């Protein structure tokens, strides 16, 4: 084991790697409850019935890809269904485009395959360089704001108002107090620097929900895994395979939009955790980056295949690195712990099925995703205004792809008006035109019947 994982070479031990794996799991295990809750919204009134299947997909997807990262890339990088990406799938693709959930997962599956091809051909880096850095930052910030908004709505702190669109929630609603208790609990655990603060906050909220009668204890604790969402892209939808429904301008644009989000999230995470772990060289390069990106790309496809949304590398891996994790064994341990949760889907369904229990986690995770906003040069109008439109456009249109489109189109227009056409990469022109088509196509279709 020492020879395979290179403990001595990287200055670590078996005990340290196991501890690091446990810590990483504790910091990201909240996804077991949050991901099924978010994805279940795409199933409408039947959402609660699908949570056990979504929980199985989430847990097994994380298990498989953590093991793959540890054994293939030998890096302490853990993977699970991505926050933000799951919101794209549920709210922008399935609900926003009005397609069956299998088609939404087919978008994710194809996106993962495309990224894998780009990694294998070396084009991934070239495409990443085509998108202005401030738009990359804005996408993450906008998604963070979107997730926080979803948490506020799910927790009852913000409700609909026909006159003003939104208003403050009703504090006589017990669910609101469950949200607040969970949120304060996360604050307290953060202040005490307790590992797994978000996960523990969710558990406190679950206890409050039981006390207030917002939810009930499950009839059983352990259950057989539910595989109904597996192979979603290949399931039959309206007489043909879900994959075959993708050949429309809107859905192909979603493939591109999800790919963009996956691109920047992964690269930022790998560089950030890599610097902390000491495996980024003086030129800012990560040795073995090809294997890391290949596993991450396969993970996205596996997420769509399993019905778990896109699986991606987690920034929470930094928690394990802080405990001394330096090899792939850290990720292997994290994956094995995810495997144990597969059999506890009734408990996950109880927690994930009550939006107020996980709302506090969404609010905090959204905040954490927004921290890069300070890197955007707000005094530079040409670059800051398109980024601003991405940030506000994502939550206000309730559609991540639309927010990205507003920013991309505006960036091209402003640069052209300032006589700086040469600063615009050809890919930005193509993407902006595609977004314009996506925006106006429904109006054209309605006009011509």
pLDDT in tens, 13-29: 999 999 999 989 988 99
Q: What is the pLDDT of residues 246-269, one digit of tens each?
A: 998 888 888 988 887 787 678 767
Is 287 a residue whose pLDDT tops 60?
A: yes
Domain range holding 358? 2-373
Q: Is 22 within the bounds of a domain?
A: yes
8 within some domain: yes
Q: How confident is the model at residue 284 (pLDDT cuts 50, 70, 90)?
A: low
Within a domain: residue 415? no
Residue of 80 and 373 predicted with greater confidence = 80
Residue 245 lies in a domain: yes
Average pLDDT over residues 351-368: 87
pLDDT for residue 369 is more than 90: no
Helix (H), strand (E), coil (C) string for the chain: CHHHHCCCCCCCCHHHHHHHHHHHHHHHCCHHHHHHHHHHHHHHHHHHHHHHHHHHHHHHHHHHHHHHHHHHHCCCCCEEECCCHHHHHHHHHHHHHCCCHHHHHHHHHHHHHHHHHHHHHCHHHHHHHHCCHHHHHHHHHHHHHHHHHHHHHHCCCEEEECCCEEEECCCCCHHHHHHHHHHHHHHHHHHCCCCCHHHHHHHHHHHHHHHCCCCCCCCCCCCCCCCCCCCHHHCEECCEEHHHHCCCHHHHHHHHHHHHHHHHHHHHHHHHHHHHHCCCCCCCCCCCHHHHHHHHHHHHHHHHHHCCCCEEECCCHHHHHHCCCCCHHHHHHHHHHHHHHHHHHHHHHHHHCCHHHHHHHHHHHHHHHCHHHHHCCCCCHHHHHHHHHHHHHHHHHCCHHHHHHHHHHHHHHHHHHCCCHHHCCHHHHHHHHHHHHHHHHHHHHHHHC
140-186 residue pLDDT tens: 788 888 889 988 998 999 999 999 999 999 999 999 999 999 999 99
Better-scored residue on pLDDT, 105 or 144: 105
Average pLDDT for residues 221-226, to the nearest whole number? Answer: 94
pLDDT of 337 above 70: yes
More confident residue, 287 or 75: 75
Which of 99-103, 128-132, 294-298 is the least confident region?
128-132
Is the pLDDT higher at 416 or at 353? Answer: 416
Mean pLDDT of the residues in the chain: 90
Whether residue 107 lies inside any domain: the answer is yes
Q: What is the pLDDT of residues 375-413, one digit of tens each?
A: 899 999 999 999 999 999 988 988 777 888 899 999 999
Q: Is the pLDDT of residue 449 over 60?
A: no
| Mean pLDDT of all residues in 34-50 | 93
Domain-located, residue 165: yes
- 427 part of a folded domain: no
Number of domains in the chain: 1
Q: What is the average per-residue pLDDT within 105-120?
A: 94
Confidence of residue 129 (pLDDT cuts 50, 70, 90): low
Q: What is the pLDDT of residue 339?
A: 97
pLDDT at site 257: 80
- Report whether pLDDT(123) > 80: no
392 occurs within a structural domain = no
pLDDT higher than threshold 80 for residue 286: no
The pLDDT score that the predictor gives to residue 445 is 64
Lowest mean pLDDT among 78-82, 191-195, 206-210, 370-374: 370-374
pLDDT surpassing 80 at residue 448: no
> How much is the average pLDDT of 290-316?
94
């Amino acid at each position: 084991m020492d020879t395979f994982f290179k403990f001595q070479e990287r200055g670590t031990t078996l005990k340290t790697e196991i501890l690091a794996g446990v810590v990483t799991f504790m910091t990201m295990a909240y996804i077991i409850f949050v991901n099924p809750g978010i994805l279940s919204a795409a199933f409408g009134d039947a959402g609660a019935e699908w949570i056990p299947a979504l929980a199985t997909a989430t847990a097994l997807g994380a298990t498989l890809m953590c093991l793959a990262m540890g054994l293939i890339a030998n890096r302490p990088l853990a993977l699970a269904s991505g926050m933000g990406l799951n919101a794209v799938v549920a709210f922008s693709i399935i609900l926003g485009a009005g397609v069956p959930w299998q088609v939404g997962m087919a978008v994710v599956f194809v996106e993962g395959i495309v990224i894998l091809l780009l990694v294998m051909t070396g084009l991934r880096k070239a495409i990443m360089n085509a998108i202005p850095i401030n738009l990359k930052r804005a996408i993450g910030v906008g998604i963070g704001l979107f997730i926080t908004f979803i948490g506020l709505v799910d927790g009852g702190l913000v409700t609909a108002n026909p006159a003003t669109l939104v208003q403050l929630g009703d504090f006589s609603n017990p669910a609101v107090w469950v949200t607040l208790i969970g949120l304060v609990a996360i604050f307290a655990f953060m202040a005490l620097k307790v590992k797994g603060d978000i996960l523990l906050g969710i558990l406190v909220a679950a206890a409050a929900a039981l006390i207030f009668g917002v939810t009930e204890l499950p009839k059983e604790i352990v259950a057989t895994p539910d595989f109904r969402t597996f192979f979603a892209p290949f399931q039959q939808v309206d007489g043909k395979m879900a994959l075959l429904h993708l050949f429309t301008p809107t859905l192909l644009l979603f493939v591109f939009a999800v790919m963009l989000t996956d691109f920047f999230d992964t690269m930022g995470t790998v560089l950030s955790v890599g610097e902390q772990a000491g495996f980024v060289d003086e030129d800012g390069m990560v040795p073995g980056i090809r294997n890391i990106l290949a596993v991450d790309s396969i993970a996205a496809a596996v997420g769509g295949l399993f019905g778990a949304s896109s699986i991606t590398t987690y920034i929470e891996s930094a928690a394990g690195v802080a405990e001394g994790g330096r090899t792939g064994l850290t990720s292997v341990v994290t994956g094995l712990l995810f495997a144990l949760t597969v059999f506890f889907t009734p408990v996950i369904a109880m927690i994930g099925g009550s939006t107020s229990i996980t709302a506090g986690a969404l609010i905090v995770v959204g905040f954490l995703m927004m921290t890069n906003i300070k890197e955007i040069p707000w005094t530079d109008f040409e670059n800051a205004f398109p980024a601003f439109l991405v940030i506000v456009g994502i939550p206000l249109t309730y559609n991540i792809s639309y927010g990205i489109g507003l920013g991309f189109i505006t960036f091209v227009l402003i640069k052209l008006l300032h006589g700086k056409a040469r600063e615009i990469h050809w890919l930005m022109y193509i993407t902006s035109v595609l977004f314009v088509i996506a925006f106006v196509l429904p109006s054209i279709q309605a006009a011509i019947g």
